[in-house]
């Protein structure tokens, strides 16, 4: 299968656009890295934990910016419809998971930034620039509550990623209706 075929699939609405693929895989990688960083920070000695969380926060804001770019891309480029042989419950489940992903991709970083602001902390963007706290005043207990929700949202995210991967595997190997190749620039996507 050549690149020309992939371009044809995209034009015919079977495969995602190249930009959508780049955003999808870059954000997916960063989300997994950020989850592992948060887990590592929870179990690390204090000095290491501070460094891990500094990276966690910066990567989290980067994910937020990339997600906003991804949504602009999504609204300005055609999105392939789900394969027509999916059962109704599969379509509803797949779309629901995708929508919850977008909510978490925006809500987790915003919540993290908000909670940080209640203890007046900045986010250092890899030494390039500094994101200031929102001017909200100190409120440690509200900050803690938001962080609890943030950690819960992060856990839910991880379970849903598992479900999303299972779905992709099912559509690739059992239904053979394109599956993972709809999000890749190669492989067979039946029309």
Binding site for ligand HEM (CB under 6 A): 24, 27-28, 31-32, 34-35, 38-39, 42, 53, 56-57, 60-61, 63, 74, 79, 82, 98, 101-102, 105, 108-109, 112-113, 116, 123, 147, 150-151, 154, 157, 161, 164-165, 168, 179-180, 182-183
d(CA 65, CA 68): 5
Nearer to ligand HEM, 3 or 155 (CB): 155
Nearer to ligand HEM, 3 or 165 (CB): 165
Query: In whole angstroms, how close is the CB of 188 to ligand HEM at the nearest point?
Result: 13
Query: In whole angstroms, how close is the CB of 112 to ligand HEM at the nearest point?
Result: 2
What b-and-e string marks burial along 27-56, b requiring 16 or more CB atoms within 10 Å of the CB?
Answer: beebbeebbebbeebeeeeeeeeeebbbbb
Contact 187, 21 (CB under 8 A): no
Nearer to ligand HEM, 9 or 57 (CB): 57
Nearer to ligand HEM, 8 or 35 (CB): 35
Contact 64, 106 (CB under 8 A): yes
Question: How many beta carbons lie within 10 A of that of residue 178, not counting itself?
Answer: 23
d(CA 77, CA 63): 20
Would you give the DSSP letter of residue 123? E
For 160, how many CA atoms within 13 A lie in the half-sphere containing its CB?
Answer: 21
């Amino acid at each position: 299968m050549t690149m020309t075929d992939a371009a044809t699939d995209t034009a015919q609405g079977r495969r995602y656009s190249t930009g959508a693929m780049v955003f999808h895989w870059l954000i997916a990688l960063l989300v997994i890295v950020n989850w592992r960083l948060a887990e590592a920070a929870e179990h690390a000695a204090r000095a290491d934990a501070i460094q891990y969380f500094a990276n966690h926060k910066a990567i989290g804001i980067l994910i937020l910016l990339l997600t906003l770019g991804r949504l602009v891309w999504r609204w300005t480029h055609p999105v392939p419809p789900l394969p027509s042989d999916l059962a109704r419950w599969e379509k509803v489940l797949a779309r629901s998971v995708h929508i919850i992903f977008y909510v978490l991709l925006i809500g987790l970083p915003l919540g993290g930034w908000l909670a940080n602001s209640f203890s007046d902390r900045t986010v250092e963007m890899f030494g390039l620039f500094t994101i200031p706290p929102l001017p909200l005043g100190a409120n440690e207990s509200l900050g803690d509550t938001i962080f609890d929700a943030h950690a819960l949202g992060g856990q839910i995210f991880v379970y849903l990623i598992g479900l999303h991967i299972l779905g992709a595997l099912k559509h690739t190997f059992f239904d053979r209706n394109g599956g993972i190749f709809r999000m890749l620039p190669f492989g067979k996507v039946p029309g």
